[in-house]
Amino acid sequence: MQIVTSIEQMQAIALDYAKEKSVGFVPTMGFLHKGHLSLVEQSNKLCDHTVVSIYVNPSQFGANEDLGSYPRNMTRDLELLGQYKVDYVFCPTTEDMYPADYRTWINVEELGSVLCGASRPGHFKGVATIVLKLINIVHPNFMFMGEKDFQQIAVLRTMLKDLNLLTQIVPCPIVREPDGLAMSSRNSYLNPAERKQALCLSLAIQLARKLFAQGELNPSEHRNQTSKLINEMSGKVDYISFVNPETLKEVKTISSETRIILAVYIGKTRLIDNSSMSE
């Protein structure tokens, strides 16, 4: 496992391996958990080489968000990655990624401005831009991403298609704690009481799926009941949406493909989760 911090060095390596081998890429912001590691495992299975990036991308955080406090532990991350077949860990500096005269931004219209994009203006512009930069540096054939960030996958898949990039996204299932909480680096913000409250997200999903199984197809009814559950567990709903998984547009009638996607504040921590109605 080689640790690379220089963009030029990573590109030189990439240009070389891309000629011969299939390359899997797992972009992360570090503070790795089993969700990330499941992506590395998938890449190991499907590709000759695996590259993991660790970079807390400032451009996807809003001015009042948690960039400063976002959890970091590089030593532990490298230790965890050492247990897998990771060929390169790319850890660039912000000075290199966004020099003072940096000016170029990617905008994925519509998909990037709804749901989390409405709550976090500019977030997906930052995500799309950093991922395009990373792809241009790493030259992967496949990019492994967790479905917890469902909208992120939709935005990036559109960007890749629109810009004629050949890198393909491999979406991987959400990894959950035994009690159902979707794994997230931000779970580390939760105190013991909040950790219990945080179960409201996965319970709301379970409720929606139960309602659907019982024949309830009306999104308003779903929203009312899931909101009620979340409120009762002291969560504060940012949004609960029932969307078409491709267009992310709200559906009028829920079907088995419909995605429930939600963001909830637990104390000061904003958590997200999502599911189809039939998983």
Q: Of all helices (H) and strands (E), which one includes residue 42?
A: helix 34-46
Q: Give me the 117-146 binding string for a second copy, x by CB under 8 A, dash otherwise.
A: -----------x---xx--xx---------
Question: In degrees to the nearest 10, what's the CA dihedral of 138, 143, 147, 150?
Answer: 70
- Closest to 242 measured CA to CA, from 211, 218, 271: 218
- DSSP 8-state class, residue 20: T
Long-range CB pairs of 239-242 (<8 Å, 24+ gap) are: 239/115, 239/118, 239/119, 239/263, 240/204, 241/115, 242/208
The footprint of a second copy on this chain (CB under 8 A) covers a number of residues equal to: 27
What is residue 76's three-state secondary structure?
A: helix
Alpha-helical segments (H) within 123-257: 123-138, 150-162, 192-197, 199-213, 219-232
Binding window for a second copy (CB under 8 A); candidates: 74-82, 156-164, 197-205, 255-263: 156-164
By CB under 8 A, residue 230 contacts a second copy: no
By CB under 8 A, residue 95 contacts a second copy: no
17-36 binders of a second copy (CB under 8 A): 19
Q: 36, 49, 139, 222: which is the annotated catalytic residue? A: 36
* C-alpha–C-alpha distance, residues 275 and 279, integer Å: 7
Residue nearer to a second copy on the CB measure, 113 or 202: 113
Binding window for a second copy (CB under 8 A); candidates: 53-61, 96-104, 195-203, 222-230: 96-104
166-205 binders of a second copy (CB under 8 A): 166
By CB under 8 A, residue 76 contacts a second copy: no
**What crossing angle do the helices spanning 219-232 and 199-213 adopt, rounded to 10°?**
150
37-56 binders of a second copy (CB under 8 A): none
Catalytic (active site) residue 36? yes
Binding window for a second copy (CB under 8 A); candidates: 65-73, 158-166, 218-226, 265-273: 158-166
- Closest to 251 measured CA to CA, from 279, 276, 273: 276
Q: Which of 86, 89, 106, 271 is close enough to bind a second copy by CB under 8 A?
A: 106
By CB under 8 A, residue 109 contacts a second copy: yes
Give residue for tokens 């547009």: 249
Residues catalogued as catalytic = 36
Contact residues for a second copy, defined by CB under 8 A: 7, 11, 15, 19, 101-111, 128, 132-133, 136-137, 158-159, 162-166
